[in-house]
Amino acid sequence: MPSVLLIRPLCEGEEPEFAEPLGIERLAGYLLAHGVKDVAVFDRRLYAEERRAGITNENAPGFYDDIKTRYAQGAGPEVIGLSLMTSSDVPDARRIISRLRSLWPQAVFCAGGVYVTTSPQEAAQVLPLGVQLIHGEGEASLLAFALHGALQARESEPALTSPNEWAVPYRPYPERYARLGCAVNMQTSRGCSGACTFCATPQLPDALRRWQPRDLELVAQEVQTAAQRLSEQWLLPIFNMVDDDFGPLERLEAFAELLTERQITVAFACEMRLASLASQKDLAVRLHNLKNAGLTRVFFGVESVNPQTLQTWHKPSRPLDELPQVLAAFREAQITVQPGYILWHKGQTLEEARKEVAYLHTLGIYSHRAALSRLIVFDGCALAQGNRDIGGFERMDEDAEQFYRSFSANTADLTHAWTQAAIKEPYVAAQAHLTGDTTQLEQVRETLRSINERSYTAFMGEGNSLEGSGA
C-alpha cells in the first residue's frame, strides 16, 4: 500500500476567511477507510494562520520541517496530492511541488479541487508537467491513482461515489483549528438546483451539479462522533455545514429533530437558498425550534435587491418580495443571517448602488462587506465564457469605478477592523449559544454595528470622505 501525502497550499493574496481543508480531510478519511494505511494531511495555511495569530513564531517548526519529520523514517511519500480551490492557490502549489520533487524525486504528484474541476485547461497550463489532474470529487480517482500510480483512463465524467459513501473525514488537528476559531466543516449534500451565472456549480457536469442529499442519519452520526471527540479534548462542538444548499427547510427541521432525539448538543451553521425560506408558514416559530436545536447562523444569497440585475444573473427574483418577512423571522428567532451580496458589477451605476445600499440599511442587513462586494469572474462560471475579465473584476462605468476605488481606499482601516470582527462573530455566537455567556458576542456585535454605521454614513455621505471619523 502506498504512502499518501495530501496538502493544501497557501492562497495568494488576502484570504477572506480561514477554514479547515475539508476536501483533503475527507479524501484522507476515504483512503484510510479503503485500506491505504499511511495517509498524512498537511495544511500550509494552518501554519500561516498560527503565525499570524501569534500562536507560533519563527522558531517553531514550520510546514516543511513537520513534513520532513513525518517522513524522517523511510523513503518518503509515494503519492503527493495538492488541493486547489481557486487560481490563487496555484503559485504556492507550484512552489511546494518543486520543493518536494527535489526531496523525493520518486514521488508521483496529482492535483484536484474546485479549481482543477472547473478550469481544467488553465490548470493543465499553469501546473508543472507530470502533475496528474483529477477532476470532480476525488475519492474514487485518488484511491485508484494511489493504488496504481497513474490514472487508468481519462473518463469524460468524473468517477463518483454517492454522498452516502463519503467517508468520515480524517482530522488530525482539530484543536489547532478550534484555537483559531474554526468550526468543524461538514458536507451534507452535493450540488444545487440554481443557475446563477456568477457561480461555478451550475457549470459542473450534471452528476456533480444535481442536488443530492446525504442521508441525515449518517450526518447526525458523523456530528455525534465528531462532537464526542471534541468534548474529549475540551473543545466546543461547533459545526459548519458547507453545502451549496442544505436543502428545503423541512430537511433542516428533520436534522434538528435527529439532534434533539439523540440529545446531541451542538451549535451549527448552514447555507441554504432564500427561495427555501420564502413563503413558509410560521417561519419565526420554526426557526425558533431550529435555534433550540443549535442552529445559530444561516447563509443565503440575496446577491441583489434589483430584480433586473438578478434576472441577468439567472437568479429568481420572486423570493425578494419575502425578504423583509424572512429577515424579521430570523431576528425574532435570534439566528444570525449572513446574506450574500454583490453590489458592484458591470452595468451597476452609482445611483442604483446608493439605492440598493439604502434599502439594505432599511432591512438591517447593510454591512461594510456588502458595500465593498464586487463580482469576481471565476473561470468556472458561465459569466467567464467569452469574458475578458476572467479571474478578476468586471469593469464598470467610470463613475462607479471611481467611487468604488475611493470608497475602498478611504475605508481601508474600517475594512481591516470589520474583517477582524466579522471573522470572529460566527464562532463567538456559537460559543455563546453553547455556554450561555454572551459577553464576548455582545462586544463583537457592537463593534460590527458601529463599523457598519460608519461605513454607511461614508457610503451615503456627500464627498465620500471619512475624515474626522477616526477610521
DSSP code at position 43: E
Site string for ligand B12, 101-120 (x = CB under 6 A): ---------xxxxxx-xx--
Over the range 335-374, which residues count as b (16 or more CB within 10 Å of their CB) and which as e? Answer: bbbbbebbbbbbebebebbeebbeebbebebbbbbbbbbe
Tell the residue number behind the cell numbers 428545503, with chain if given. 248
Rounded to the nearest whole angstrom, what is the least distance from the CB of residue 270 to ligand B12 in the complex?
Answer: 10
In the bound state with ligand B12, the residue whose beta carbon lies nearer, of 200 and 337, is 200
In the bound state with ligand B12, the residue whose beta carbon lies nearer, of 142 and 266, is 142
Residue 194 touches which member of ligand SF4, ligand B12, none, C-beta under 5-8 Å by kind:
ligand SF4
Q: State the first-to-last Cα distance of the chain, in angstroms, to the nearest integer.
A: 58
**Which of 202, 213, 294, 319 is the binder for ligand SF4 (CB under 6 A)?**
202
Site string for ligand B12, 166-205 (x = CB under 6 A): -------------------x-x-----------xxx----
Residue 112 touches which member of ligand B12, ligand SF4, none, C-beta under 5-8 Å by kind:
ligand B12
In the bound state with ligand B12, the residue whose beta carbon lies nearer, of 29 and 286, is 29
Kindly state whether residue 79 participates in binding ligand B12, applying the rule CB under 6 A.
Answer: no
Question: On the CB side of 63, how many CA atoms lie within 13 Å of its CA?
Answer: 22
Rounded to the nearest whole angstrom, what is the least distance from the CB of residue 8 to ligand B12 in the complex?
Answer: 8
Q: Are 365 and 299 in contact (CB under 8 A)?
A: no
What does the alpha-carbon distance between residue 420 and residue 364 come to, in Å, rounded to a whole number? Answer: 21
Q: How many residues does the chain have?
A: 471
User: Residue 426 contacts by C-beta under 8 Å, 6 or more apart in sequence?
Assistant: 183, 240, 269, 296, 297, 336, 338
Kindly state whether residue 199 participates in binding ligand SF4, applying the rule CB under 6 A.
Answer: yes
User: Residue 268 contacts by C-beta under 8 Å, 6 or more apart in sequence?
Assistant: 183, 223, 238, 239, 240, 241, 294, 295, 296, 430
Give the footprint of ligand B12 on residues 5-24 (CB under 6 A). Answer: 11, 15-17, 19, 21-24
Residue 9 touches which member of ligand SF4, ligand B12, none, C-beta under 5-8 Å by kind:
none
Tell the residue number behind the cell numbers 513564531, with chain if given. 57
Element spanning 268, H or E: strand 267-271
What does the alpha-carbon distance between residue 323 and residue 333 come to, in Å, rounded to a whole number? Answer: 15
What does the alpha-carbon distance between residue 352 and residue 194 come to, in Å, rounded to a whole number? Answer: 25
Q: How many residues bind ligand B12 (CB under 6 A)?
A: 41
Rounded to the nearest whole angstrom, what is the least distance from the CB of residue 303 to ligand SF4 in the complex?
Answer: 7
Site string for ligand SF4, 248-277 (x = CB under 6 A): -------------------------x----
Footprint of ligand B12 on this chain (CB under 6 A)? 11, 15-17, 19, 21-24, 26-27, 81-83, 85-86, 88, 110-115, 117-118, 134, 137-139, 142, 185, 187, 199-201, 242, 244, 376, 378-380
Which residues of the shown chain bind ligand SF4 in the complex (CB under 6 A)? 192, 194, 196, 199, 201-202, 244-245, 273, 301
